[in-house]
Every structure is written in C-alpha cells, then in structure tokens.
A and B are shown apart, each in its own frame.
Chain A
Amino acid sequence: MSTTFKGESDLSAWLDRHHVSRIRTQATDLDGFALGKYCAREKFLKALPIGHNLADVSLGSDSKSTPHLGFWHNFRQGAIGDIALMPDLETLVPDGLESDLGHVICDFTQLDGSPISLCPRTKLKTLEQQLADQGLSVKCTFEIEFFLFNNSYADAARKRYQNLSPVGASPLETIYFLRDSFHAAPFMQKVLDRLDWYGIPWEAWNDENGLGQIELNLAPTTPTEMADRVVRAKQIIFETAVQQGLSATFMAHPKEGFSNGMHVHHSLLKEGVPQFFDPTARNRRSPLLIHWLGGLLSTMEASVSYLCPSPNSYRRLREFAAPPVTATWGEENKSTGIRLICDAPKSARIEHRVGAGDLNPYLAMAVILAGGLVGLSDKKPPPPEFTDLGWGIPDSVPRLPADIMSAAKALQAATKLRALLNPEDVDYWIKSRRHEWMLFHRAGIDPDSPIPSQWEFERYFATV
C-alpha cells in the first residue's frame, strides 16, 4: 500500500524513503485532459514551490492541442509565453508500478506563483472556499463509466473505431451480468490494485449496460480531492488498458444507444455533520437541502455547458436513452436531472445525473457548487418534485439544452452563476465551446445522427 506525502514535512526524506528519482506532474486542462511532464528529482526540487514551466497555450488549447488563436484570456502572454505547474505536495504519491516514479497533482499558475483563475482545479478550490466561508463543506463522489475493448488503441485507430471487440461474454446488452464482469475482472483487478496503491478508496465496480461497459464507484471525499481521484483513476484505467493491449474510452457517446455518464453524488456538511436530512421537516428535507436544490434547478440549464462539454456529449441526451433530458428532480427518480436520496441522515444526498462521461471533474463540480451557492443566496424552493417518468412528456416541461451552443447561450445568460465562476473565465469557456462546435460542423457532421462521427472518435476516443 502506498504512503502519500500528505502529512509529512521532509520532502527529501520522503523521496529517499520511497526511492523516487523521477516525478510526473499532472494538471488538468479545460477539456479535462491530463497534462504534465516527467521531471528528474533534482529539477523537481529546484523548481519548488512554484513548479516547472510550460507553454501558456497548454491551458489555452482545444481538445486536439491546437492553441485557441481566435479568442483571448488575460492569463496568456502576448507572443506565447510560459506559465507554471505548481505541485500540490499533499497529492504526491509513489507510482507503484515504476519503482522510482512519483506522481503529483498541480495547479496552473503564473510564473510568480499567483493563481490563474481559469485553471479548473484552482476554480474548484475557489468554490470550495466560498462554501467554507459559509461554514459548509461538501462530500461527493463521481460514478465513472467507460467502455473496454479487446482492441489496443492502435488497433482501434486502424479499424477507424468500427467493429471493435468489447470485453465481455454476452452479445446481449446486459447489466450487472457477472459473466461479463468475469471477463473484465483481470483488467479491473490491476486497476483496483493501483487505486489502492495511490490511496484512492473504491466502493464497487460492475458490468454496465453497453457491451464492454464498466462502472466504477469511488468512495466519497471533499470536492477537490475527489476530482483529483477521478483524473487519477481515469489515467490508471487508460494506462492499464495500454499495458494489457486493450483500449478504454470515456467518450460520452461512443455508440448508438449507449453512453458514458458521470453522475455526481454530493451532500452538504456543517462541522462534519450532514445537513440534508431533517427528521422534523416535511419529507425529512432540510431547508438547506430545499434551497440548495432550488439553486441547482434554477441553474441547471446553464450548468449543462460544463457538464456536457463536447458536441459528442449531446448525442447522449435523448428521450428514453437513460440520461435525463429535463431540468427536473425527484426523490428516488433516476429519470430526472436530479435524483434525491433522503432516507437517512448519513446517506441523504443529491445525485446530479446530467454529467457526461467526458466532463472535466473539476469544472463539473465547480458549476454544481456554484449552482448550490446561488440557491443558498436566493433561498427559493425548487420547482415541484417530478414523480413521473422524465421522458416522453409534453413540451411544457422545459428540456435541457440539446446542443453545445444552446448550452453555451444558457450559461451566457446565467448572471449569478457567471459571477460565482468569474465572468472572464466563463466567457473564455463559452468561446472554447464555440470553437469546438465550429470545428465539429466544419467536418460536415450530422448533429442529429445517433451515430458518432469519425471526427468524434479521432478527437475523443483516446483523449477524454
């Protein structure tokens, strides 16, 4: 089992004790990609506390690493300069596979170490702090879904991502089917071993509905630590697939009829005590829960932009396809945008079901916290609980934005959410979505088709 640096003070002693001579830095860009460098120990130590440099366009690039040349953010330099990756040493951990390698999660900062508000991890920490200022904290977890294929990444690319062989036993689209799970077990065992080594507690995994689809549930923790765990877990799944000659994809919609979601469970605490369950309140729902829900619902349309970041994400939002299509909520209702679980003090929580498998966990959690904060400020109740099935219903129930630009426009109009997330950063995000949308359409893709295009496979299959 790994020993993280968290709680220790002598970095050199820790590196010596774990025989670490190389450190891999890891930061997450806007599209959720893991970026970083492999640094020699001496270089890593010398660059502390600010960290090593990298080109500023690394935080200003699209999902093909093409710099954003058509719009601007003030963190960038006039003629392409450098920014830094500041290590959060509390996340430093030995690799477990490569004996002399350590890993550390970083924030993008300016070269003097001052924060860059656009950095997704910095953004989430800012939102967490705003909650802390109100005496509140959040416990959360993400459900990670992915498709696993017997084809290597190279083979999948050679086959143009068509007719891949899913890991599993049955040609039927089963769920929780143990014979399918058994086929994936050797792969998952390696993944779980590495999660254990990294100190990432997991709760369960199972065969999901799509052929070769797996769901992994991590144990809940605070938002930034949880997002760190998600990006690390995804990297571990990718690396394990590479090592075993397989391929795994977190694409939101890799196949007609099947999608990867990333549901976010969360609850609010005050001084460590859960706040959503109130045995004296109507339906045991505390006023704090009602206001928080009200904020999540009033900002849900706008939050879709962060929860469904790519054009591919929107192929997932179809009636009766399992993901929600309306800004609705209901207790134990898995067809609404939000499912409330309010049966006991410790397990009372909100499951936000809109998120796509390709979301950036830092930004997704940040927009959820911002929505909740809007609710705490407005103190307005959510719309009436939705007790019916949330699909196939009349148009009078408003639908979530069905494409990347509708979502961007909803975000543009959400004044309170924008203020909490920093308007300049939100504008930059919106323009980055516009950029992705224009590239998508320039490729001559049918946006209404249930089948993902070659452009989407090439852009997202191995990257998100």
Chain B
Amino acid sequence: MTTSPSVLTQPDATPLETNLARILRVNLAVQGQTTLRGIPGRINLQDKTTKTSIRLDISGEGISLSRTQMPSIIHVLGNFDPFEGSPPEFSIRSGWRKPFLKAKLRALLTPHLKPWPVAAAELFDRSSQTKNSDMTISILSKDTLEQHVWGQGSEKVSIIASKKTLTHLFNGLSMLIDDILKGRIQCQASMQNIALITDATIDHWLDAGV
C-alpha cells in the first residue's frame, strides 16, 4: 500500500496557503508520489493579486508551505487566490529550461476539478450540516440543463448556475454566498439553508473543519 506524501501548512496559514495545500493534496493523491521526482526542493510562488509570497519546501515525505522567503531557482507568478471563483493560473517566471519538469510542476499546481455533480455529491455526503437535514437540494446547470437532486426533506433549495460556476463551487474554489452576492448563482432557499450550505462550501474551500 502506498501513502500520499503529506502537505503541511504553518499554524498561521492564510486562506491562500490552506487552499493551495488542498489543491496539492488532491493532486498528489491523484498523480502519486512520483510526481515530486525531479522537482527542486524549494519553489517560491507569488500571488499576482495580493502579492503574497508562498514557499514550497519539497522532500520525499511531502510538501510544506510557509510565507518565509528563501532563495530558490524557481519563481512562479500566478493567480493562487481562488476567491474570485476561477481556478488558479500560473506562469513560471525564471528561465527554467526543463520542459518535462515544468509540465510536472504545472500539473502539480493546477486544480484537479471533478465534474460538478460528483463534487457536489461528495460535499453533501461529507458535510455534517447538510447531511441528515430536512433539505431537498435541486441544482440545475443552466447552460447544459443537467439537473440533480439531493435529499428528500421538506425544505426546498433551488440552485441555478452555469456549469463552470457549479464546477468551481463544488470543487472548493468559491463559496455559495459569494456566488449569490455576485449574481453568478440564483438560489431560492431560507436564510438558514443558504447559511448551512455556504458553511459547508467554506469548510470545503478551506479543507478544514474550522
């Protein structure tokens, strides 16, 4: 049996770091431990929007994230802040001339997005707040007209959005209340049920129980 390498954040990790850690955890689980082979031991990342710098220290055991900057031959500039609901994009800034390793690095940092019905099912299944509740959650992708329903409760929740928005939401790249406030999602429900589902998407976004 093989185990995925660990991805650790500092106790004072920012949302940027916790979210990047979640992306790395998913990708390492999907791609396997060998994906780290050949990648330098230290990579500096900088978020284009917030200018926050993140350092990745990579070893055979896994990856640790911190904000303390140290010299590195790899500098990656990109959008690592998914608050806007778009998956992080990045470009490798320095002259690193190893296309194969560059591709591995890109694969490591790019979010692995599951189809939204799969991701939504996983979220509703693991969320203690939406599980065993009185909700019936109906979700419609307005561009593909694909519709799924979860739960059999008496309280109806209707969510309508584009496939892209739903994919980002249920893969942990955005939060329900944000998408509603920004007009990307139409959601008809009680305030309580909006709050409960949003809470679950925030937990999912942070990959944490708190």
Enumerate chain A interface residues (CB-CB to B < 8 A): 68-72, 76-80, 401-403, 405-406, 408-409, 412, 430-431, 434, 437-438, 441-442, 444, 446-448
Contacts and interface: CB of A to CB of B under 8 A. Distances in A.
B50 A69 contact: no
Interface of B: 11-16, 49-52, 67, 83, 175-177, 181, 190-192, 194-196, 198-199, 202, 206, 209-210
B51 A444 contact: yes
14 contacts: A69-B195, A70-B195, A70-B199, A71-B198, A71-B199, A72-B196, A78-B190, A406-B11, A408-B210, A409-B210, A434-B202, A444-B49, A444-B51, A446-B52
Given A70-B175, A72-B192, A444-B50, 10 more contacts: A70-B176, A71-B198, A77-B191, A79-B190, A402-B12, A403-B11, A406-B12, A430-B210, A437-B15, A441-B50
Contacts of B195: 68-72
B210 A412 contact: yes
A438 B15 CA distance: 7
Contacts of B52: 444, 446
A195 to B, nearest CB: 39
Nearest to B12: A403
A76 B210 contact: no
Contacts of A412: 209-210
Contacts of B15: 437-438, 441-442
B177 A69 contact: yes
B83 A442 contact: yes
Contact of B191 (A69, A430, A447): A69
Contacts of B177: 69-70
A405 B12 CA distance: 7
A70 B202 contact: yes
B191 A405 contact: no
A431 B14 contact: no
B193 to A, nearest CB: 8
Nearest to A403: B12
A233 B45 CA distance: 48
A419 to B, nearest CB: 18
B191 A76 contact: yes
A401 B13 CA distance: 12
Given A69-B177, A71-B199, A441 B11 contact: no
Residue of B13, B67, B210 contacting most chain A CB atoms (<10 Å): B210
Contact of A402 (B11, B16, B50, B175): B11
B194 A69 contact: yes
Nearest to A77: B191
Contacts of B196: 72
Given A71-B195, A444-B51, A434 B210 contact: yes
B205 to A, nearest CB: 9
The 10 closest A-B pairs by CB, nearest first: A444-B50, A72-B195, A70-B198, A78-B190, A403-B12, A71-B199, A69-B177, A406-B11, A70-B177, A441-B15
A113 B105 CA distance: 60
Contacts of A441: 14-16, 50
Contacts of A403: 11-12
A69 B176 CA distance: 10
